[in-house]
Amino acid sequence: MKKNLFYAQSGGVTAVINATAGAVITEAKKFPKQINKVYAGRNGILGALNEELIDTSKESRAFIESLQFRPGGVFGSCRYKLKSIEENLGEYQRLIEVFKAHDIGYFLYNGGNDSADTAFKVSQISQKMNYPLTCIAIPKTVDNDLAVTDSCPGFGSVAKYVATSVQEASLDVQSMRESSTKVFIMEVMGRHAGWIAASGALARQNKNDAPHIILLPELMFDQKKFLDMVKHTVAKLGFCVVVASEGIRNKKGKFIAESDTRDAFGHAQLGGVAPFLANLVSSKLNLKNHWAVADYLQRSARHLASDTDLQHAQAVGKFAVRYAMQGMNGVMPVIKRLQDNPYRWSITSAPLSKIANVEKKLPKSFISKDGFNITSKGMTYLRPLIRGEAKSIYVNGLPKLLEPKLVLAKKQLT
């Protein structure tokens, strides 16, 4: 029977998540006998719970095509964790009520680790609550920490941004080293996995190029070892560039930059590693330094997106629809690497039971013995993911963005 499809974006957005959304909407039109309309959840899963469904059929074809150039989450995202059916049956009953009211038979959830968990839970409700629903999770996370998939859409563009920023900033510091700044510290995202920090190594073309120190959450932060390395590098080269993950921990296993604020998933809000390290360098080594926090800039820099990343993002969206049409439930389209150089890849399916609540960290084989660098094996993995320029369209010097209508479907429930 012909059903409607519900698509939602979840968690932190990326430079290419809207490209996935555009691919889902476009691919769904190829199955007119199975899919009637594509609804997008306003602010992720909350759109389903609040019965706020955006009717994508009201958007122009030009707008849907332009989504590949738009960063952020055009339909709104959220950090909202569904508890188990046993803990909060009411939420699942509400989802089913909304899905029934709007004749939704396909649920596509575009997100990272916690979103995969949500998708896995929703995929089980058709049996437990006797409602026919096909659920597909779509990978997305700048952290690159989803299990099974070779890489995650969103990561390649962040890696390209970080590597480019490190390369450019290092030339600035190098120019001023004689009489001014000696140390530059760049803080990047990465709570438990150091993939983004590791990508800074891509900026290095020659042996003495920046970054000179990479701090990863997979390893305990050793203050003395760090300061000794900074001192040695400055003595040797006249300057030192550091890329630090926000998730580095002290000897007690606590985040160095952990605050008392927590998000909806229960994660402590991080941020402040760079100024912490800068203070150490100032007080212990008396070296002039500057620091920067990439924060939202690294994940929203569509103007510097990787073409490989864009292709990944569109492919997982297309295959999510195809898998749904095949009746597959509780799976995710994942990227399979076939060859490093030249880079070749394909899309295959993986069960959510092997992905939900599993975190993929940087392998030991990717980390140098001193803990401050990335091995050749790690570089071989990273390099293809930043290749190619997914160029934006510019108008009056700025990226061209078409505005959405975001028309909500009429509510059927009180």
Catalytically annotated residues? 143
Whole-number Å distance between alpha carbons of 5 and 77: 18
| CB neighbours of residue 157 within 10 Å | 32
Whole-number Å distance between alpha carbons of 188 and 296: 10
* Cross-strand pairs, 214: 243
Whole-number Å distance between alpha carbons of 135 and 127: 12
Nearest to 77 by CA among 21, 148, 147: 21
8 contacts: CB under 8 Å, gap ≥ 6: 40, 41, 44, 45, 47, 48, 75, 108, 109, 110
Output the CA angle 26-9-353, nearest 5 degrees: 100
DSSP 125: H
